[in-house]
Structure 1
């Protein structure tokens, strides 16, 4: 990256921002000052338009068939957004009214149909009538001259009418009379529901103009980008300056634009303290993993390593082990294919490619372990020929997790050692690999009861001494105090990979438990079939929901925390996002 300062005439600032946006090369350097009202308003307009688009898409989804567009769907994107928001505001008010009426009707149901005006007529004649609901324990004694008429009594509620020719009060809350008979309230609720349905249909009809709303959103995003860039402008007299970054190979194009538009351009190397954006150019086969980085909004710093390849490989392995079932992988794959076909060209290619790879890996792992919906395979099944790992063999599965941990973290320290091979720090990183494998054998000894190889005393001990010497820790007292904890951390990180086995085993246990519950149902056939279906579908659906969540929690952790901490990766990067027309 190169740091650029673009200098232009202050009176031409808007024209300059438009031209830079058309060029689409300059990542504007963020400013420390808060956004101006203009930039904040521009961002709010984007969010408002996005909300309008979501409303019409949701309304269209709620309808089996989208109503045809009508005259209300005319107008540009801005007009459509205003109309959608107005309709939604009206619909929200009607929903609130409908909810209140429904609740009021539920409260009044115990009293049946009555006309509240008759209560007013009785009051005019000197007879006070009040409605009450309380628990049997709260039921008061009637005051002198007051009569109670119970309308309903249950184990937890008493509804009664209190009547008297004299004013009276009771120590329990009074039920407020409605403004109209319950039948009239029910009619109002029905009218509100009809109006809600009509408005929802109107919103669904506006989905036919979703493309216009999307185009409007794009325009608003362009306006918001220029507003942010405008905030970053520094003015000196009759000139303005905009600083930013662009790739080295893009500098000539920007210089040509500067010559054409009369800008001044200063090209520099980024200073050590600059917040330089990160531009990662992965080969096509690696691009799907960028979906994960974008999802968690985490990017390597400008001077940090691009670990896309290692991340992709191990994330696929972690996904397979955490889901751990070929049957689930096939179901996920079938669902993905159905959604992909439905979306057609609108389907995000990288997202689907990533999920296809993950689930194919899951199917392969499930086949290698013989895991299919938690069902024990028959002895004669040909699928038994594919099994090479027994998930019930706990020591073997734990050892596999330790091997994955050691290999994963060895890649991290080996990468550092190669990168720093011309310095003592490279030797220190190579020494840590010896410590790491010592931690691997220690985990096998403490958790699996395997004998600790005598040679590893020398290997791991020598690694500790070499790391202590080559890292320069001996001359830094604070680091020297932390050094023992760093060594212990190698063992802790190795053991942390057991989560791959533990979570996968828990998923298998849940599947087997629901299978056993379904198999144990002993009811007449008419009752057994629906109950078995509920148990099987509900249990496996729960497992299929929890599986991806475990990948997000544990799979990401092993890559972003354990592996990255050994690599020295802090994920402090900002994605290269130039001022451009979208």
Structure 2
């Protein structure tokens, strides 16, 4: 829930020991290495190196079954394993394409039967022409002068063969191309193709013996690439060498102990205003799903705030409002249970699984408050009906609620921005925006809700906020020292006030919560009504139609709800919210550490 404080660390030692120092530092695994020659340049991550090896490793890891791992390096030829694996992969891809082509060709040829074309001499110079003619067009064949015959009938399709030296005219359908290879030969080719695929899949499974060693090989190669990049970021004058980076403040003692052990000079310093430190987010795993969302979109700057906790709860809330159905929440819960094992295989996956659990819980609670269970309302006086206090179809109420949620969301964003600038005049602007947005909301809600007592205070509060934005949009020029500074303050203030339209638009954009929730609820009720109409009007078969309508309709609505919840829930958090909350974009803290590539435990 915080951005970890870091310190700048600089290590000096003998140039002749540079590589050994970097290898030991990589073993320590707690320092983010920066470019000592250009401290504010963000070093690019080194490439994956041998892409073929990664491709082969990924292919073996996705094998349907796996063999016991070989741990001894004796007899391990990494290049040979990679080449064999890629050859197997390419050949399987080629054979799979051929198999699909053969299956389609056999499907097209089966209605005509298994036959071989006679020679042209045996046919007296005639050819066989094949057509698939619907019943409604058979009459057109009566005008043909050439002999023809119907060899098969399947439903409305009539399979017709015409004997003629040239392609006959007057047939109302295009010719069917059967090819010259008999059906029996195509089936033999398909059998051989599938047998070879099976043999190659078996070879692939045998190659999985080497996955652990191949992973170790890849990790070593990536470690070497990282050391090479660290060398390029270091200082070296042929006598002394220096390497610089960032370390968590609570890990500084470990770096000092490392320097003492290896005879290095260690200099630690807090970042100053000219520094651009990396951002290291720190959140407990139970709320870490919000951090994963933040890192996926944009890393906040070091001197800003961590919005992960807010994202964790508010994304779940927005998703719930868009879904607005307790029954759908139960379905989402079962889907989450189905993917829980796969998500639990990685640290990020476990965090996202907990976020999913929060979403399911929030969806269920909101659905109960909305009184919607697969689009059905609980009977009046029933136990579930006691909790149904929100009417999603009440347009006026839901619009006001959505805008109120948006206003509170923007107020929270500006409060977090003010906190990140605490102790400086720059904090006045987000506080002023809070006053302006809150005042505007008071005036608006007072007018719409016939509460005149809050309209005037709302205008006053908005005016004070606007004045604060105008006066403090250029805090670095306060107090003004020259007449030109006054002009710049005025221009910056006018420019800052142009964000009023953005604030108004951002608050109104939360109406999408109401619109999507109402659309989903209306669709659910519509599918229920269609199903009941089918069951009532068509006895017997109507029950089947009703069941299909319910399953297909609610299935589609759940998919649309998930898409809407993800897309618009993220949009409101990472666009509207981040626009006001995150005042500086940063880059992630990446520890210079040994690479580990996970395989599996046989």
Q: Is the TM value for this pair above 0.5?
A: yes
1:573 matched to which residue of 2? 587
**Is 1:465 paired with 2:473?**
no
Q: CA deviation at 1:40?
A: 4.6
**Is 1:529 paired with 2:529?**
no
Q: Within 5 Å, give how 1:98-177 maps onto structure 2.
A: 98-109=99-110, 112-116=113-117, 118-119=118-119, 122=122, 127=125, 129=127, 150=148, 160-163=162-165
Q: Secondary structure at the match of 1:27?
A: strand
2:403 matched to which residue of 1? 402
1:256 matched to which residue of 2? 257
Q: CA deviation at 1:495?
A: 1.0
Take 2:176 and 2:350, find their aligned partners in 1: how far apart are those partners?
60
Take 2:435 and 2:231, find their aligned partners in 1: how far apart are those partners?
53
Q: Within 5 Å, give how 1:262-341 maps onto structure 2.
A: 262-263=263-264, 265=266, 267-270=268-271, 275-294=276-295, 296-340=296-340
Distance of aligned partners of 1:226 and 1:149 in 2 relative to their CA distance in 1, 3 Å threshold: farther
Cα deviations by residue, 1:464-507 (Å, 9 ceiling, x for unpaired)? 12321233497336534534431122221111111111111111
Cα deviations by residue, 1:308-353 (Å, 9 ceiling, x for unpaired)? 2222232222122122211111222233335447988879532322
8 A contact 1:511–1:539 mirrored in 2? yes
**Is 1:489 paired with 2:502?**
yes
1:551 matched to which residue of 2? 565
**Is 1:94 paired with 2:99?**
no
Take 1:524 and 1:205, find their aligned partners in 2: how far apart are those partners?
58
Q: Secondary structure at the match of 2:328?
A: helix
**Is 1:503 paired with 2:508?**
no
Distance of aligned partners of 1:481 and 1:453 in 2 relative to their CA distance in 1, 3 Å threshold: closer
Take 1:284 and 1:386, find their aligned partners in 2: how far apart are those partners?
32
Range with greater deviation from structure 2 (359-368 or 343-352):
343-352
Take 2:22 and 2:297, find their aligned partners in 1: how far apart are those partners?
27
2:483 matched to which residue of 1? none
Distance of aligned partners of 1:306 and 1:389 in 2 relative to their CA distance in 1, 3 Å threshold: same
1:46 matched to which residue of 2? 54
Cα deviations by residue, 1:166-211 (Å, 9 ceiling, x for unpaired)? xxxxxx999888564221112211332344355556656877x6xx
Take 2:85 and 2:196, find their aligned partners in 1: how far apart are those partners?
15
Q: CA deviation at 1:97?
A: 1.5
Take 1:159 and 1:11, find their aligned partners in 2: how far apart are those partners?
86
1:378 matched to which residue of 2? 379
Q: CA deviation at 1:302?
A: 1.5
2:416 matched to which residue of 1? 415
Q: Secondary structure at the match of 1:3?
A: strand
Distance of aligned partners of 1:531 and 1:75 in 2 relative to their CA distance in 1, 3 Å threshold: farther
1:231 matched to which residue of 2? 229
Task: Name the Cα RMSD after superposition.
Answer: 4.2
Specify every segment of 5 or more residues in structure 1 that has no aligned partner in the other structure, as ranges: 61-65, 137-146, 165-171
Q: CA deviation at 1:230?
A: 0.8
8 A contact 1:279–1:575 mirrored in 2? yes
Q: Secondary structure at the match of 1:244?
A: strand
2:142 matched to which residue of 1? none
**Is 1:29 paired with 2:34?**
yes
Take 2:320 and 2:76, find their aligned partners in 1: how far apart are those partners?
48
Q: CA deviation at 1:463?
A: 2.2
Distance of aligned partners of 1:570 and 1:337 in 2 relative to their CA distance in 1, 3 Å threshold: same
Q: CA deviation at 1:88?
A: 3.0
8 A contact 1:325–1:362 mirrored in 2? yes
Cα deviations by residue, 1:244-264 (Å, 9 ceiling, x for unpaired)? 322233333234334434556
How many aligned residue pairs are there? Answer: 546
TM-score of the aligned structures, taking structure 2 as reference length? 0.77
